[in-house]
Structure 1
């Protein structure tokens, strides 16, 4: 692969929750960056319009189109070297359309599908979440079968999103909900770091046809440890209100789709500790050891961001 600065990167879902971080990271690392986005219409939100303007001010090339416009997809893909999909849950299977276009274009050096969560090939959560992950597994297998050069990224938990969700810093609560015992270990990575590292691995020849897992040692933490750290930083004390595992399992079984998916995700990550349930072996690549010029923000540093200028809670659902 050519040097990083010469690669052109196309991002699908670039106006979404994690996608916007990917776009900004790509630009900051000197790549000519393209975003494939839905056409602007009367239904386009003000926040999306503002994001379009921000991207354009950064020199991002925005291609407006739908995912079923095959010829347009092929045309824009032929203009770039690397394709990254950050499409959210409802559009996971739409990535088959991207795969078809990549096969026709025939020029892509690397494709990163929309993973960026837990390592779907190595966890088996409750059925609602597992059914969602099975769609991602189907995309992975299709990429492999097509012989498309890939990197699969398992970034684990979006740090700012889950700090917002678990600690509710805006609400100033006197209690904090704890799922299960609160002792299961999770991995919380700051979204800006996930994006920056993803752009780096997308352009790293050594990461071709590999799975990269984002598991920095200092970002492994339990709910109870996170609450204690937050108490130390705020000088407050919070009552811990535990939600029993059986209650979460029952909700996952009885809530309608897709409301049962977030409950199943909470059970997977914070009750069963699935994302830390397997050891990394010699074939696994752990991202925090890859680049000497890049360091993941620690959870301690992430909480400092909330104390100084808290990120607003994400409107996106679990991705």
Structure 2
């Protein structure tokens, strides 16, 4: 068993004030877990972070544990308070590397029953990426292997694309929504990927924390209803608005050139788009149930947001 029967595990979320992390905090609180957020205290002019922390406080279910991952003793003290650690750190190399410090604290504390690292997105083992995303996927794979080598109880979670970023842009990382008349379609536009809402990914994350069926496995979040190609996304939008869009197909060479001359983080976002929409991503759902499980099969009670529903909310 992962936790004492009848007792919900205490959860520490690292990166809980980030774009995705705040959804995980909310899902943990909604599921009635004792929820802790390990974060740097907000500076005087950081009004957004203050508002996020205040919104957590209003729910009267969490405590902020102020500290830095660079202060190992503070991190170790926080780790010792909980049963489950969830990392929602960003995907840049600096933040991914910080997870090695978390692993060290978990090993020393000896009380953590499950670690969920900052995987999410596409499975590093099922994608053929280009730089700079290639370095990110290599680092995620290295962290994954370290966790296994150290025998740290874990769940790796992969959901392909987040609806909230890519659908409003119709796959165009360089465009700020809303989009009206024209759209750039990467490749031939026929490669399908899964789009899962940020809120739903967070819900599934919290579902796993005391579920023995997901312990030491990969959880794929791949609702079949949410498999869409770019051509299908554009067609859906045209159907909803009743207006045809002018389409420009972006070749492999054009996108690679754009990646090479774009600043960070746009070059990273474009390389993610290239990796999926041109090279394709195929989650290995034929893996043995001892290695991988699928979220919508395990948790049919979750009323996830479909691509069409999310598209409706944008119009």
TM norm structure 2? 0.91
Instruction: Tell me the CA shift for residue 71 of structure 1.
Output: 1.2
In structure 2, what is the equivalent of residue 115 of structure 1? Answer: 119
- Provide the C-alpha distance between the structure 2 equivalents of 1:277 and 1:285, rounded to a whole number of angstroms: 11
Q: Could you tell me whether the CA contact under 8 Å between 2:8 and 2:33 is conserved in 1?
A: yes
In the TM superposition, residue 282 of structure 1 has moved relative to its aligned partner by 3.2
**Separation in 1, partners of 2:170, 2:300:** 31
Change (3 A) 1:303 1:18: same
Q: Distance in 1 between matches of 2:269 and 2:89?
A: 17
* 3-state SS of 1:276 partner: coil
Contact kept in structure 1, 2:35 and 2:63, CA below 8 Å: yes
Structure 1 residue aligned with 2:309: 301
Aligned residues of 2:193 and 2:276 also touching (Cα < 8 A) = yes
Provide the C-alpha distance between the structure 1 equivalents of 2:210 and 2:128, rounded to a whole number of angstroms: 30
Aligned to 1:52: 53
SS at structure 2 position matched to 1:115: coil
TM-score, structure 1 length as denominator? 0.90
CA contact (8 A) 2:120 2:158 kept: yes
Cα distance in 2 for partners of 1:27, 1:277 equals: 30
**Aligned residue among 233, 241, 254 for 1:234:** 241
User: What's the counterpart of residue 183 of structure 2?
Assistant: 176
Partner residue in 2 for 1:74: 76
**Alignment match of 2:223 (pick from 213, 216, 233):** 216
Match of 2:31 among 29, 32, 39: 29
For 1:30-80, what per-residue CA distance to the aligned partner results, in whole angstroms no more than 9, with x for missing partners? Answer: 111000011221352x21110010011112211111101111111111111
Distance 2:168 2:85 in 1: 30
Aligned residue for 1:150?
154
> Where do 5+ consecutive residues of structure 2 fail to align?
none
Deviation at 1:298, TM superposition (A): 1.4
1:139 CA drift (Å): 1.1
Counterpart CA distance in 2 for 1:300 and 1:256 is 32
- Paired residue secondary structure (1:164): coil
Q: Does 1:276 align with 2:277?
A: no
Q: How far apart are the structure 2 equivalents of 1:272 and 1:21?
A: 30
Q: Counterpart in 2 of 1:225?
A: 232
1:87-123, Cα deviation, whole Å (9 max, x unpaired): 0123111011111111111000100000111000222
Q: Structure 1 residues 81, 245: CA separation in 2 closer, same or farther (over 3 Å shift)?
A: same
SS in structure 1 of the partner of residue 119 of structure 2: coil
Q: In 1, are the aligned partners of 2:13 and 2:87 still within 8 Å (CA)? A: yes
Q: 1:265 and 2:302 equivalent?
A: no
SS at match of 1:285: strand
SS at match of 2:12: strand
Q: CA RMSD in A?
A: 1.9
- Is there any run of 5+ residues in structure 1 with no aligned partner, and where? 308-319
Question: 1 or 2, which has the higher helix percentage?
Answer: 1
| TM-superposed deviation, 1:236 | 1.8
> 1:255 Cα shift?
4.6
SS in structure 1 of the partner of residue 81 of structure 2: coil
Query: What secondary structure is seen at the aligned counterpart in 2 of 1:211?
Result: strand
Q: CA deviation at 1:257?
A: 5.8
How many Å separate the matches in 1 of 2:6 and 2:243?
Answer: 46
Q: Which residue of 1 aligns with 2:295?
A: 287
Q: Using the alignment, how far apart are the partners of 1:53 and 1:121 within structure 2?
A: 38
